[in-house]
Amino acid sequence: MADKLAVDIRSEIGDLESVIIHSPGAEVENMTPENAERALYSDILNLNIGLAEYGQLQGVLSKVAQTHEVRDLLCQVVQIPEAREELVGNICRNENTEGVRDYLLDLPASLLSTALIEGVLMEKDNLTKFLNKGRYELMPLHNFFFMRDSAVCLSNKVIISKMASVVRERESIIMEGIFRHHPKFGVETINPVHWPHGSNITIEGGDVIVAREDVLLVGTGARTTSQGIDFLLAWYKQEKLSKHILVQELPFKPESFIHLDMVFTFLDHDKCMVYEPVILKPNKLQTVHIIVEQGKVVSIFNEDNLLSALNKLGFGLEPVICGGTADPWTQQREQWHSGANFFAISPGKVIGYARNTYTLDELSKHGFEIIKAKSIVKCHTDIKDYKKCVIAIEGSELARGGGGARCMTMPVKRKVL
C-alpha cells in the first residue's frame, strides 16, 4: 500500500494537494419522480449528461492534486476482514437491514463496495416483501457524489457528520470506515453519534468552512442544528483549543439554502463570493461570534454580518456578488443553481458552473479570467499561466442535483498558507 496520506486542512484556499471525490453512477439513475423527494432531489438527473459534466471537474482536479475515488477507497477497506465486518454490521444495524448482512459479507470486495453505494434489490421471497412497494432492501446513495457533507477535515482530525436526513446516514458510516481503516489514512475521527450528549445533533460538511486555522464558519439551518455547533464547542473544550467560531443563521426555505456554502465561499486571500440578501442585506438572520480560549467559551455575541465579522479578524475581504448587482431576480436564479458555491484549488483559482453567467461576469470585473474546464482537461490551457481565474465546468445537469463544485469535493490536504 502507498505511503500514508496526511490529513491537513487549515484554510479554504491553500493549494489543493489531496481530495476525495465520487463519480456518480447507477445510484443516481435508480431514482424515479415518485421517490426523488425522499432522495432529497427536486428532479431526476440524466446520468449520461451528468457524468460528462462531472468528468470536467474530475479532469481539472487530477491536473492539480491527488484525486481519490471513494468507490476505490471503499473497495480497499472491505478487503480488510475486521473492517468489512464492522462496516457492514454498522450499516445493517443502522438501517434495520440485518436480513442482507450475510449476503453482503459473502460478496467479493468490488461487488460489496458497489452494493453499499448502488443499493441491493429486494428479493420478494415472502409475503411481507411481496406486498412491499419498495424496490430496494438497501437503498442507493443518490446523494453521495456531494462528497462535502459526510465528513469534515479540520487540521489533522476528521469530524464525521451527523446527517439531517436518514437517507444519507450511510454516507457518514462509509467515510468513517475509510478514514479509520484505510491504510492510507488511519486518522482519528470524531463522531457526534458517540458523543454522550448527542440529542438533536446534526451537522453537515456544507455548513462548515475553515476560514483560517483559528477561525471557523458554521451555518445553522435545515441541515446543521445549534446542538451540532454545541457539539463542536464541547470538542474544543475537551481538546482545550482556542477558536473564533462565526455562526451564520440560514433560511430554512427554499431548499437552495441548505448549507452555508450555498451563500458564501472563499475565492482568494481578499475575495469571497456572497449571496447578498442573506450575507449582506439587513434581515432577521443572526450572525453570532463565539470566542473559545483554551476550550472555554469566553464570549458570545452578535455581529452585524458575516463579512464585517471576518474583516474585524483581519481578513480584509471584498465581496463578489452572486448573480451580479443589477437584478435581485438574477441573483435568486443563479443562487438556486449553486452560483455562490465555488471550490478553490489555490488562492484566486476557483471552480464553478459555466451556466451562472452573471456571476462569472461579476468575477471577471474583479480580475478573474474565465477559462473553460474542457480547455484545461484537453491540455489546451495551463492553469499555471493565470494568477486569478475561474475554471468553468458545464453544469446544466449537475446543478439540478442541488450542489456545486464545493459540494462535490472533500479536500483532505492543502498547503498551509
The pLDDT of residue 248 is above 80: yes
pLDDT at 125: 81
H, E, C per residue of 344-395: EEECCEEEEECCCHHHHHHHHHCCCEEEEHHHHHCCCCCHHHCCCEEEEECC
In a domain, 108, yes or no: yes
Rounded CA gap, 197 and 183, in Å?
Answer: 31
Beta strands per DSSP E along 161-228: 189-190, 208-212, 215-220
The pLDDT of residue 42 is above 80: no
Q: Which domain holds residue 249?
A: 16-414
pLDDT band of residue 35 (cuts 50, 70, 90) is low
The better pLDDT of the pair 363, 45 is held by 363
In a domain, 336, yes or no: yes
pLDDT digits (tens, 9 = 90+) for 91-143: 999 999 999 999 999 999 999 999 999 999 888 788 878 777 778 899 999 89
Q: Which three cell numbers stand for residue 108?
A: 467479493
pTM: 0.94
pLDDT digits (tens, 9 = 90+) for 276-317: 999 999 999 999 999 999 999 999 999 999 999 999 999 999
> Residue 179 sits in a domain of what CATH number?
3.75.10.10
- Give the CA-trace dihedral at 11, 207, 293, 155, to 10 degrees: -40
Rounded CA gap, 311 and 313, in Å?
Answer: 5
Q: Within 13 A of 298's CA, how many CA atoms are on the CB side?
A: 10
Contact call for residues 66 and 5 (beta carbons, < 8 A): yes
What is the mean predicted confidence (pLDDT) over 373-399? Answer: 94
Burial status of residue 94 (CB atoms within 10 A of its CB: 0-12, 13-18, 19 or more): middle
What is the mean predicted confidence (pLDDT) over 150-176? Answer: 95
Amino acid sitting at position 155: S
In a domain, 267, yes or no: yes
pLDDT digits (tens, 9 = 90+) for 213-234: 999 999 999 999 999 999 999 9
Q: Which three cell numbers stand for residue 194?
A: 458517540
Contact call for residues 370 and 363 (beta carbons, < 8 A): yes
Q: Which three cell numbers stand for residue 151?
A: 465528513
In a domain, 54, yes or no: yes
The better pLDDT of the pair 383, 41 is held by 383
Map residue 414 onto helix, strand or coil: strand
In a domain, 10, yes or no: no
Backbone angles phi, psi at 384, to 5 degrees: -65, -20
Residue 246 β-bridge partners:
217, 289
Residue 189 β-bridge partners:
158
Q: Which three cell numbers stand for residue 201?
A: 445533533
List of residues 6+ apart from 280 with CB closer than 8 A? 274, 305, 307, 319
- Number of domains within the chain: 1
pLDDT at 399: 85
Q: Give percent of the chain above pLDDT 90.
A: 81
The DSSP secondary-structure symbol of 1 reads -
In a domain, 310, yes or no: yes
The pLDDT of residue 38 is above 60: no
pLDDT digits (tens, 9 = 90+) for 313-350: 999 999 999 999 999 999 999 999 999 999 999 999 99
Contact call for residues 334 and 322 (beta carbons, < 8 A): yes
Amino acid sitting at position 213: E
Q: Which three cell numbers stand for residue 144?
A: 453521495
pLDDT at 205: 97
Contact call for residues 332 and 398 (beta carbons, < 8 A): no
The pLDDT of residue 268 is above 50: yes
Rounded CA gap, 417 and 62, in Å?
Answer: 21
pLDDT at 1: 45
In a domain, 24, yes or no: yes
The pLDDT of residue 395 is above 50: yes
Rounded CA gap, 151 and 307, in Å?
Answer: 25
In a domain, 396, yes or no: yes
The pLDDT of residue 31 is above 70: no
Q: Within 13 A of 2's CA, how many CA atoms are on the CB side?
A: 8
**Averaged confidence pLDDT in the chain:** 93
pLDDT band of residue 2 (cuts 50, 70, 90) is low
Query: Which residue carries 458552473 as its cell?
Result: 353
pLDDT at 198: 65
